[in-house]
Structure 1
Amino acid sequence: MAYFEKEELRQAKQMTAIEFLKRYRPDELVRCGTGEYELRSHDSFKISESTSLWHWKSRDIGGKSALDYLIHVEGVPFLDAVRYLLEQEPPGYAPQAKTTEQKPFVLPAGARETHRIELYLQSRGISLAVIRYCISKGILYESLPHHNCVFVGLNNEGVPRYAALRSTTEYPRPFKQDQPGSDKRFCFCIPPITRSRCAAVYEAAPDAMAHMTLEGGRAEKYRLSLGGIYAPLNDLSTDRPFKMPPALETFLKNHPDVTELEICTDNDAAGRWAALQIAKHYSGEYRVKVNLPPKDGYDWADMAKEEKQERAARHRVACFYQREGSER
């Protein structure tokens, strides 16, 4: 079996993805903004010219090196990719033609139990009450055979049309993926107990559940996941065109009684930029409130996890002093 020494692997990882593409795939690069490119065959793939950071939105994967690109985008086996980069003889590339045919959407098989996703989501700071509320609404379950969290999006008739999958383990790396055939117009949405005029919007399903937990588990408003947002890597100017998330547009069309929007995107550069764009777009028709996590770089899932850790620390301190008092 072929293998490479550590120094050879280090050398193979030195070439950046943008350097590789400019040298060996120049016809594939299409400029789509200041300092940013997309691929001619995959327009949801964006790469920064200055940092080489790339993100393939439709697959929710990213990287920086040419090695990452070859493995995850062109599908070259690891050993072959390393060999090509060391020998400077990159593999031939035949881009796949774009297809407009939608893959059939089928939900992953479900497990009878839900204890793995309950334990995982609780470890992320989400309350058991919120988890079970979502399970009871048919928008969250545990899959087989991998025991992933499945966050389900329903259409207006209550039929599943979207599913976001997330692994219940972080090692060796967290798994995140939309189920093939998912329709981004119908993303995960936590319904209120009774009809509400307010909808809060989040980048991801765990953020919606985490914020609901932090607000005491109250199901008094819609909590909609946008299924992620796209923000250009190098140009977050306020006049940069921004495509409104299809999940939000479809939701508002199907819920004419909603008059208030609460924007709860991540508190990072992309999240703040997207919040500004969404607020500008809808402020004439809706009462809009921007409610980002109070800590820079955090999302609402980060805030819930930190709150859980702080609560556990306070409990340990209280138990310590209680023991000390009883022993005196």
Structure 2
Amino acid sequence: MPKVSKEQIAAAKRMTAIEFLRRYRPGALEKSSARGEYQLVAHDSFKINGESSVWHWKSRNIGGRYALNYLIYVENVSFVEAVQMLCGESPSYIPVEHEQIEKKRLPFKLPPKAADNSRVTRYLLGRGVSLPVIQYCLDLKILYESAGYHNCVFLGLDEQGVPQYAALRGVYDYGKTFKIEQEGSDKRCGFCIPPAGGSHTVAVFEAAIDAMAEMTLCGGKADKYRLSLGGISATEKEPLALQEFLRRHPEVTTIELRLDNDSRGRMASECIQKVYAKRYNLLDLPPEIVNGDYADMAKNKLMARIAAERAAVCR
């Protein structure tokens, strides 16, 4: 097994992550909504400060400042290879593309299931999602409760109906909502609520809970496909989940863009419209709440109903 010296390790630790990315991955970075901050095009939950070089991959709860840690924890490069790369002894490795990184993705494995889905059901009801919508997703086996931490597990299926993607969302409030994609998830297989019958329309959301919330606001009607992109990049013109969905469903003619009503959601909507406008009937339908999403709308409607019921009791 090749080894590296203490001097090489010390030299490798001198390069910051932002310096490495600007020099060797210029196409991988884009500006984020925060001033002086950047994000990875392929992983928009990865943020890095342009001055301090401090980076944090929120969905995986890892971070650092130097290129060495970035290569090890983000691009899955071995310690020795990363040191050699940064010392200039392995220059052929520098132009690694995202496709090559994907080849190193760990095998996809679903979290074990809990004995029942009671906690997930209570959580989603508290977020304003109706019981019929929750049950619809449970019956389709695209939603379940994990054992241990009792997270919501939203599944994305391949063409054979086999799960290839999972988005986990915590049901407990510790001041910050737990949200992560299961290791090895295939972004092409997004969480999708299918219609009860055929449909020529797909509504596109940033998160699975938004899709369930909008279905609730529509009275629980299973009248169209509701697809979650699993997050967005403001400049991503053709999200992988949408590309794959449209490939599988040539009968679809209308795309409802129901992305968040914030700067990133609006920019993403504009980018997607530019790509698909000539091929599809596009409807830009953001939620009514500024800087909000459909889950916020459903929660607000629930709170308003509870307040009205309490007021009626007090009369």
Which category describes the TM-score, using the shorter chain as reference length?
Answer: 0.7 to 0.9
> 2:240 matched to 1:246?
yes
> 2:165 matched to 1:192?
no
8 Å CA contact 1:104, 1:181 repeated in 2: yes
Aligned twin of 2:299 = 305
> 2:121 matched to 1:118?
yes
1:294–1:53 distance in 2 versus 1, CA, 3 Å: farther
Give the drift of 1:145: 1.5
SS in 2 for 1:177: strand
Question: Structure 2 counterpart of 1:118, which letter?
Answer: T
8 Å CA contact 2:190, 2:230 repeated in 1: yes
8 Å CA contact 1:29, 1:37 repeated in 2: no
Which of the residues 176, 179, 186 maps onto 1:176? 179
8 Å CA contact 1:22, 1:29 repeated in 2: no
> 2:269 matched to 1:275?
yes
Question: 1: CA distance between counterparts of 2:219 and 2:166?
Answer: 26
Question: 2: CA distance between counterparts of 1:224 and 1:126?
Answer: 16
Question: 2: CA distance between counterparts of 1:160 and 1:130?
Answer: 20
SS in 1 for 2:303: helix
Q: 25-34 vs 304-313, which deviates more?
A: 25-34
SS in 1 for 2:123: helix
Question: Structure 2 counterpart of 1:28, which letter?
Answer: F
Aligned twin of 1:28 = 20
Which of the residues 142, 146, 150 maps onto 1:147? 150
Aligned twin of 1:78 = none
> RMSD across aligned C-alpha pairs, in angstroms?
3.1
Give the drift of 1:56: 3.0
Question: Structure 1 counterpart of 2:110, which letter?
Answer: L
Which of the residues 212, 229, 233 maps onto 2:232? 229
Question: 2: CA distance between counterparts of 1:50 and 1:302?
Answer: 34
SS in 2 for 1:125: coil
1:22–1:229 distance in 2 versus 1, CA, 3 Å: farther
SS in 1 for 2:255: strand
1:109–1:47 distance in 2 versus 1, CA, 3 Å: same
Question: Structure 2 counterpart of 1:219, which letter?
Answer: A
Aligned twin of 2:50 = 49
Instruction: Show CA shifts across 1:229-249 (max 9, x none).
Output: 012xxxxxxxxx534110000
Question: 1: CA distance between counterparts of 2:111 and 2:298?
Answer: 28
SS in 1 for 2:141: coil
Which of the residues 193, 197, 205 maps onto 1:202? 205
Instruction: Show CA shifts across 1:113-161 (max 9, x none).
Output: 1110000011111111111100000100000111110000011111111
1:51–1:275 distance in 2 versus 1, CA, 3 Å: farther
Question: 1: CA distance between counterparts of 2:214 and 2:144?
Answer: 19
Question: 1: CA distance between counterparts of 2:18 and 2:250?
Answer: 47
Kindly tell me the number of residue pairs found equivalent between the two proteins: 266
Question: 2: CA distance between counterparts of 1:228 and 1:210?
Answer: 16
Question: 1: CA distance between counterparts of 2:44 and 2:292?
Answer: 28
Aligned twin of 2:287 = 293
Question: 1: CA distance between counterparts of 2:265 and 2:194?
Answer: 23
Question: Structure 1 counterpart of 2:137, which letter?
Answer: C
1:284–1:179 distance in 2 versus 1, CA, 3 Å: same
Question: 2: CA distance between counterparts of 1:310 and 1:184?
Answer: 36
Question: 2: CA distance between counterparts of 1:304 and 1:43?
Answer: 25
1:53–1:275 distance in 2 versus 1, CA, 3 Å: farther
Give the drift of 1:226: 0.2
SS in 2 for 1:284: coil
1:44–1:210 distance in 2 versus 1, CA, 3 Å: closer
8 Å CA contact 1:199, 1:223 repeated in 2: yes
Q: Which runs of 5+ in 2 are unaligned?
A: 1-12, 71-81, 87-92
Aligned twin of 2:111 = 108
8 Å CA contact 2:156, 2:166 repeated in 1: yes
Give the drift of 1:169: 0.6
Question: Structure 1 counterpart of 2:155, which letter?
Answer: V
Q: Percent identity?
A: 47
Question: 1: CA distance between counterparts of 2:122 and 2:228?
Answer: 22
Instruction: Show CA shifts across 1:48-67 (max 9, x none).
Output: 5379896637x3659xxxxx
1:37–1:215 distance in 2 versus 1, CA, 3 Å: closer
SS in 1 for 2:198: coil
Give the drift of 1:278: 1.1
Question: Structure 2 counterpart of 1:249, which letter?
Answer: Q
1:25–1:147 distance in 2 versus 1, CA, 3 Å: closer
